[in-house]
Amino acid sequence: MTEKGVYMTEINDKVQNERKKVVLSGIQPTGTITLGNYVGAVSNWGKMQDDYDSLFFIADLHALTVRREPAELRQMCMSFFAQLLACGIDPEKSVLYFQSHVPAHSELAWILNCNTYVGEASRMTQFKDKSAKHADNINMGLMDYPVLMAADILLFRSDLVPVGIDQKQHLELARDIAIRFNNRYGDTFVVPEGYIPKTGAKVCSLQDPTAKMSKSDPDPNGWVSVIEDESSIMKKFKRAVTDSGNEIVAREDKPGITNLLVIYSVMTGKTVEEAEREFAGCGYGTFKTAVGEAVAAKFKPIREEYARYLADKAYIAEVAKAGAEKAARIAARTLAKVKRKVGLVSFDK
């Protein structure tokens, strides 16, 4: 083989390997992005956008499954978009958009509905939980929620879907739907993999370190948000529940201290062991203040950027429109293929 031949082979290999994997995730526009969402999801999205073809969207259609004030929903959607930008989702690297701006999501959801069994959908834990919680509004959308989510994912031939552990069952349903469709109609969808990050995947409540940090926690002292001001963050960390004893170590019988060590480690980039050494011999009070300061320092620029983005509606509109256009272009290919496969008439070539 000539020098040139070898060289060409290498280039070809490289070109083939360069087909980047697709990563996609959505977030419901409710409340604010909490420390838990940031650590478990959004900060990882920010890291993934360099290595993958990435799409991130505001799941505004999913948000309609529970009753909301229209004006409040609209405001929340804008706020979430600004929060994602502030958290480092870069529209130059990722496709960022509102789900409702890309009609293909809903269109594919309908076709997938016709390939999903009522039994499967009604078995979902989240459907059962939400039905119990909103007993006066068990609407069709609530049951259909995971099918729309499957459409979100399958539309873009997503390889990787970073989600919290609570969405694992929905992801499995999306995989089942994809496999079934492929078997019935021939290869159409990529069967997605979940990506559930290990370290710090779960940040716990500051008031009940055995429960996940959740913005639906009625006790606001349990969570902090990425756009919360410094004094409020400090107050909540000073009040954080700790454990008996006085050692600052991560251990099963010390869920409070362990949670704070994990938070500190994620905020500072230090390992939990390094943090343990750093605080060896310190009192709980000093430690809690230090964790609060680390969180406040990390979130300060996010809060400032957020305010800047939110004030610039024209910029948000521009980014969201461009994002929706890009997403629609990618989605159109899959949707056309799906329509053809199931036997809908098309006059396109």
Q: Is 215 a catalytic residue?
A: yes
Estimate the crossing angle of helix 168-185 against helix 125-133, to 10 degrees: 130
Sheet containing 193-195, strands listed edge to edge, beginning at the edge strand earlier in sequence: 94-98, 53-58, 22-27, 160-162, 193-195
Q: What is the closest distance, in whole angstroms, from the C-beta atom of residue 271 to ligand TRP in the complex?
A: 28
The question of whether 270 is a catalytic residue gets the answer: no
- Identify the helix (H) or strand (E) that includes residue 170: helix 168-185
* Residue 248 Cα distances to 46, 199, 213, 251, 271, angstroms: 30, 19, 21, 9, 14
Q: Which of 94, 116, 167, 334 binds ligand TRP (CB under 6 A)?
A: 167
Residue from 35, 104, 153, 260 binding ligand TRP (CB under 6 A): 153
Of 39, 85, 149, 295, the one binding ligand TRP (CB under 6 A) is: 149
- 221 DSSP 8-state letter: G
Please, which residue, 34 or 258, has the CB nearer to ligand TRP?
Answer: 34
Beta bridge partners of 193: 160
Residue 300 tokens read as 């300060």
Rounded to a whole number of angstroms, the minimum distance from the CB of residue 263 to ligand TRP is 21
Residue 236 CB, nearest approach to ligand TRP (Å) = 23
- String marking each residue 52-71 x if it binds ligand TRP according to CB under 6 A: -------x--x---------
State in angstroms the smallest separation of the CB of 170 from ligand TRP.
Answer: 6
Closest among 298, 259, 220 to 31, alpha carbons compared: 220
Shortest Cβ contact with ligand TRP: which residue? 26
Q: Which residues pair with 98 in a beta bridge?
A: 58
Name the residue nearer to ligand TRP (CB basis): 164 or 197: 164
Name the burial class of residue 342, with classes exposed (0-12), middle (13-18) and buried (19+) by CB atoms within 10 angstroms of its CB. middle
- Applying CB under 6 A, which of residues 33, 84, 89, 163 lies at the interface with ligand TRP? 163
CA-to-CA separations, 257 to 217, 226, 271, 284, in angstroms, rounded: 20, 21, 15, 9
| Binding-site string for ligand TRP from residue 12 to residue 51, where x marks contact by CB under 6 A and - marks none | ------------xxxxx-----------------------
Nearest to 162 by CA among 52, 325, 326, 306: 52
- In the residue annotation, 341 being an active-site residue is answered as no
Task: Please state the closest distance from residue 283 (CB atom) to ligand TRP, in A.
Answer: 38
Which residue among the candidates 212, 236, 254, 288 is catalytic per the annotation? Answer: 212
Give the residue numbers marked as catalytic: 130, 212, 215
Residues that bind ligand TRP (CB under 6 A): 24-28, 59, 62, 149, 152-153, 161, 163-164, 167
